Amino acid sequence: MPHRIFFMFIFPSILAMVLFISLPIVSVVVQSLFVQHEAVLITVENCTPFGCESQTRVDTEAMERLREEQPLGRFAGFANYVNRNHLAIDEIGAILADNQGFGDVLSRVFNLPLYKALSFTLVYCFLVTPLAMALGFAIALAVNTLPGLLKGPTIFVSILPMIITPLIGSLILAWMFNPSGILGASLQSLTGDPTLSLRASPTLTWIVLLLYGIWTNGPFSFVVFYAGLQTVPQDTVESARIDGASRWEVIRHVVIPHLAPLATFVALVQLMDNFRVFEPIVGFSAEANATSLSWLVFNDLVGQDSQLFGSAAATSVVTIVGVLILLAPVLRRTWREFNRKAV
């Protein structure tokens, strides 16, 4: 296809992506170097018959003007990155200089907003992905043994947790885990602890969020692995059985190697999606016990009268760097394969 025609075909697509994906990334980087204006304070004298008192308050007019002139805020260099809400260089230095052992360092570092969010994001990403894949694989194996008539309805029910809007799915589960919801109340009576609730227990919050992740991500692996199972060479399976391989050995040595390329694909997609975990934090109102990088950005942006664009942008840049690190092995492999093919 000639270059000119290729670009005519692809131009709208590229334009959309450049305008709304590339430029925003540039915009985020620029914004992260600025902080919002400091409040302009003025002192007014309030005189009443009983005497005068001076009052300090925010000069809204001057603030408006300042915002108009410099919408980005004040230039701050890397101040956004190193402050307490982000990389917290000073705080970490202080913790390292004065602490009571390794456990103390960890607990104090993970109390800093960014590290707290990072810890949950990574735990979610790297626990939910393999567990959901394992669940999906198990469901695929089980569904594959069902008689044809039952397969359709089972698949229908199985993909519901995946197709559901993340916010809605997490709300549905959050209501059930509410202390007066069916699961929350049952948990309380099972453990005999009437104060047990998501709000009160960080451990429970983490477990429930991870369970939600596995519940909603499992079906994707299931669908892909189920389709993969249909292409497993039956001759190989049968000859392995005749040679005396057990069911488990067939799965281990025939089925799993056959599905390995699919598993890489699923793992890649799920890692990307799980790294941006966000809606469950809102749905479960879990922010006191668990936050994620995406939630931090959201939280900075959602402030009604003072949106912290600089702070949100700095967290975004950190998140984007995280995504790139996550993608690096894949990109490197693709690059190598591409070069091999080209040669």
Contacting another protein within 251-280 (CB under 8 A) = 262, 265-266, 269, 272, 275-276, 278-279
Rounded CA gap, 308 and 312, in Å? 6
Q: What is the DSSP code string of 101-125? A: SHHHHHHHHTTSHHHHHHHHHHHHH
Among 44, 94, 167, 200, binds another protein (CB under 8 A): 167
Q: What mask, x for binding another protein by CB under 8 A, covers residues 26 to 65? A: xxx--x----------------------------------
Rounded CA gap, 209 and 280, in Å? 7
Token look-up 């390794």 returns 102
Say whether residue 24 binds another protein (CB under 8 A).
yes
The least distance separating another protein from the CB of residue 96, rounded to whole angstroms, comes to 29
Binding segment for another protein among 42-50, 52-60, 98-106, 294-302 (CB under 8 A)?
294-302
Say whether residue 200 binds another protein (CB under 8 A).
no
In the region spanning residues 207 to 246, those forming contacts with another protein, defined by CB under 8 A, are 215, 219-220, 223-224, 226-228, 238, 241-242
Say whether residue 182 binds another protein (CB under 8 A).
yes
Rounded CA gap, 159 and 169, in Å? 13
State the pairing for strand pair 34-35/74-75.
antiparallel
Binding segment for another protein among 15-23, 46-54, 98-106, 123-131 (CB under 8 A)?
15-23
Say whether residue 76 binds another protein (CB under 8 A).
no
Nearer to another protein, 95 or 311 (CB): 311
Rounded CA gap, 216 and 277, in Å? 12
The CA radius of gyration of the chain, in Å to the nearest whole number, is 27
124 burial type by CB count under 10 A (0-12 exposed, 13-18 middle, 19+ buried): buried
Q: What mask, x for binding another protein by CB under 8 A, covers residues 78 to 97? A: --------------------
**Contact present, 38 and 66 (Cβ < 8 Å):** no
